[in-house]
Chains A and B, each alone.
Chain A
Amino acid sequence: MKMPGQDAIAAKGWFKAHRFLIARRVSQAGVLALFLLGPLAGLWIVKGNLNSSLTLGVLPLTDPYVLLQSFAARHWPETAAIVGAIVVAVFYALAGGRVYCSWVCPVNLVTDAAAWLRQRLGLRGVSRLPRATRQGLLIMTFAVSAVAGVVAWEVINPVSMFHRGLIFGVGLAWVVILAVFLLDAFVSPRSWCGNLCPVGAFYGWLGYKSLVRVRADQRAQCNDCGDCYDVCPEPQVIRPALKGAADGVGPVILDAACTNCGRCIDVCSKDVFGFGTRFGNTAPLADGDDSTAPRRRCAAGAPNFHASINPER
């Protein structure tokens, strides 16, 4: 089976066709290295883990999702945790909520590996849960936190279990990580991050109006090779931006499910995509589009019907 991105490698060279993938791996490894420098080398730049950490003894960073569950369990935290959560929330609200998923989260390495293997073996997708399942699970974690008085998702969260496991000792957490890998590789494609993980769902909402977005400014150049859809962990986000010219939609990928991973930028041989801001989201006149009449077809209702579950679909 032909792997996506071959055209881009031919057109732009290997490095340019992989630069955001490399940058992401560097970022993921770098975050992990910062946490590991302490326990492995005695160099304490960052203490703690992704749930809450202290950098250089001054900067607290706290996962706002975990802290909100603690609120739901009716605990009022100390100032350090609240300040840390605000810092994290502001960062992701600007940079893109799911930047956490693709640039920081260690489970991304696992699910990307599963997706790669899947593509290599040419496995077709089987049963899919609705993408909104993660939204249901997100609400569920708050409900269970409130009812049981426990930071509910932390009881089984593979993300923090994996991260904590790498830093503090893994225990049986590898079973959970293996389960995520097997689920994504052999049961349901891109299922963990795409359909289930409430952490990603939470960060999606956090970056609902984020500043940094991927844009398909050069969409007129698109040659319909489909490589961007093949590599995208959330392929449904691309279509409105890439193919919405006739409807006056785009060219910014506004869907909060987009993880800003930039892989579409890498694999596009025509350089259709690029990072930019969310502003100026009207079709450029070069498309021959009437940008003064946006979203004409929305009157029919159907295209936006799922907006309540899939934000800005």
Chain B
Amino acid sequence: MAEPGDIRTLFASRRRFLTDAARVTGAAVLAGFGLALYARRAHPLPADAIRPPGALPEEKFVGACIRCGLCVRDCPYGTLDLTRLGDGPATGTPYFNARRVPCEMCEDIPCVKACPTGALDHQLTDIAKARMGIAVLVDQENCLNFLGLRCDVCYRVCPLIDKAITLETQHNLRSGKHTMFLPTVWASACTGCGKCEKSCVLEEAAIKVLPAPLARGKPGAHYRLGWEEKEKAGGELVPGMIDLPGRMPEAKP
């Protein structure tokens, strides 16, 4: 049986075990708080970093991407890169900068196929359905088409020309006799490939691809568009509504 000396050792040993366990737990919890704070802070994506096609929404993506870089390797155009420490947040995750190298929208989407975890969603098989970001004509004051010229380059290079970017005509008030052809992005079709941003002839692109959460507004959930509701209902929503006469300024007697 155990002798008194052994019991002392046992108690000393138990004491050490408990203090060690307390130190370990303390250190782990402390480190955990730090890591959680840092990891949470690392969520938002910088505006010029666009995720590859099929990327899950950012908050899901950082839990799914294991930062292996296989998508980067299988991109035939060298579009993708992995973020480095100090570059941007989530270190080691894939992104591209559209102004440097845009996405060429391969039909077989090799980057998505390469992803072992599905952080790039394998459900995406039609590249036209990719939503990497949304092109926004951020600077109308410097866009040549808005100045009344016919640059049209962003429109011409768009892989979904006349769907993702159209030229909407408007009277040129400055010259008084010309038409302006305004490049207009349609979020319903824009994949965010960034070819428009890449090819913008200005020194700093007037049209830029932004991550969707930055680029898009969102109406309140209660919001309804009257004309759509009317169409859905197949007629007047409030029957017998009185149509008041318009009061135009020039209609004054």
Binding site for B on A (CB under 8 A): 38, 44, 47-49, 51-54, 60, 62-63, 66-67, 70, 73-78, 80-81, 84, 129-130, 132-133, 135-137, 139-141, 143-145, 147-156, 160-161, 164-165, 167-173, 175-176, 299-302, 305-306, 309
* Residue of B35, B63, B69, B119 touching A149 (CB-CB under 8 A): B63
Extra 13 A-B pairs, beta carbons < 8 Å, given A136-B24, A141-B35, A143-B32 = A70-B64, A130-B20, A133-B27, A140-B31, A150-B90, A151-B62, A151-B65, A169-B84, A176-B85, A300-B9, A301-B6, A302-B13, A309-B24
Contact A77 B84 (CB under 8 A): no
Interface string of B116-133 (1 = CB under 8 A from A): 111100100000000000
Classify the secondary structure of B's interface with A: helix
List residues of chain B with CB within 8 A of the CB of A169. Answer: 81-82, 84
* Distance to closest chain B CB from A302 (angstroms): 5
Contact A154 B84 (CB under 8 A): no
* Distance to closest chain A CB from B53 (angstroms): 16
Contact A161 B117 (CB under 8 A): no
* Residue of B23, B25, B35, B118 touching A78 (CB-CB under 8 A): B118
* Residue of A84, A129, A173, A302 touching B6 (CB-CB under 8 A): A302
* Residue of A53, A168, A302, A309 touching B81 (CB-CB under 8 A): A168
Distance A156 CA – B37 CA, assembled complex (angstroms):
12
Judged by a CB distance under 8 angstroms, whether B21 is at the interface is: yes
16 residue pairs bridging A and B, Cβ less than 8 Å apart: A47-B73, A51-B68, A54-B70, A62-B66, A66-B67, A75-B64, A77-B64, A78-B122, A130-B23, A139-B28, A154-B91, A155-B42, A160-B92, A161-B92, A168-B72, A168-B81
**Count of B residues near A, CB < 8 Å?**
56
**If the complex has contacts A155-B42, A176-B85, are A66 and B66 also in contact, measured as CB distance less than 8 A?**
yes
List residues of chain A with CB within 8 A of the CB of B35. Answer: 140-141, 144, 152-153, 155-156
**If the complex has contacts A148-B39, A171-B86, A302-B9, are A75 and B117 also in contact, measured as CB distance less than 8 A?**
yes
Judged by a CB distance under 8 angstroms, whether B36 is at the interface is: yes
**If the complex has contacts A75-B117, A140-B28, A302-B13, are A145 and B63 also in contact, measured as CB distance less than 8 A?**
yes
Judged by a CB distance under 8 angstroms, whether B143 is at the interface is: no
List residues of chain B with CB within 8 A of the CB of A80. Answer: 116
Judged by a CB distance under 8 angstroms, whether B14 is at the interface is: yes
Distance A168 CA – B72 CA, assembled complex (angstroms):
9
Contact B28 A70 (CB under 8 A): no
* Distance to closest chain B CB from A128 (angstroms): 11
Contact B84 A150 (CB under 8 A): no
**If the complex has contacts A70-B63, A164-B82, are A49 and B68 also in contact, measured as CB distance less than 8 A?**
yes
Contact A150 B13 (CB under 8 A): no
List residues of chain A with CB within 8 A of the CB of B25. Answer: 136
Interface string of B41-79 (1 = CB under 8 A from A): 011000000000000000110111111111011100000
Contact A48 B64 (CB under 8 A): no
Contact B39 A144 (CB under 8 A): yes
List residues of chain B with CB within 8 A of the CB of A78. Answer: 115-118, 122
Contact B6 A300 (CB under 8 A): yes
List residues of chain B with CB within 8 A of the CB of A299. Answer: 1-2
**If the complex has contacts A48-B73, A52-B68, A149-B62, are A302 and B24 also in contact, measured as CB distance less than 8 A?**
no
* Residue of A75, A140, A155 touching B60 (CB-CB under 8 A): A75
* Residue of A81, A136, A141 touching B116 (CB-CB under 8 A): A81
**If the complex has contacts A48-B73, A171-B87, A300-B10, are A154 and B27 also in contact, measured as CB distance less than 8 A?**
no
List residues of chain A with CB within 8 A of the CB of B65. Answer: 151
List residues of chain A with CB within 8 A of the CB of B23. Answer: 129-130, 133
List residues of chain B with CB within 8 A of the CB of A135. Answer: 24
Distance A38 CA – B70 CA, assembled complex (angstroms):
12
Contact A155 B38 (CB under 8 A): yes
- Residue of B whose beta carbon sits closest to that of A39: B73
**If the complex has contacts A48-B70, A52-B68, A78-B122, are A133 and B24 also in contact, measured as CB distance less than 8 A?**
yes
CB < 8 Å A-B pair total: 199
List residues of chain B with CB within 8 A of the CB of A170. Answer: 84
* Residue of A151, A156, A165, A305 touching B17 (CB-CB under 8 A): A305
* Distance to closest chain B CB from A154 (angstroms): 6
Contact A156 B6 (CB under 8 A): no
- Residue of A whose beta carbon sits closest to that of B32: A140
List residues of chain A with CB within 8 A of the CB of B115. Answer: 78
- Residue of A whose beta carbon sits closest to that of B121: A78
Distance A170 CA – B84 CA, assembled complex (angstroms):
6
Contact B39 A67 (CB under 8 A): no
Of residues 200 to 229 in B, which have CB atoms within 8 Å of A's CB atoms?
A: none
Contact A49 B69 (CB under 8 A): yes
Distance A175 CA – B84 CA, assembled complex (angstroms):
12
Distance A51 CA – B115 CA, assembled complex (angstroms):
12
Which residue of B42, B66, B82, B84 has the most chain A CB atoms within 10 A of its CB atom?
A: B66
Interface string of B162-198 (1 = CB under 8 A from A): 0000000000000000000000000000000000000
List residues of chain A with CB within 8 A of the CB of B119. Answer: 75
**If the complex has contacts A70-B64, A149-B60, A302-B6, are A52 and B20 also in contact, measured as CB distance less than 8 A?**
no
Judged by a CB distance under 8 angstroms, whether B40 is at the interface is: yes
Distance A75 CA – B64 CA, assembled complex (angstroms):
6
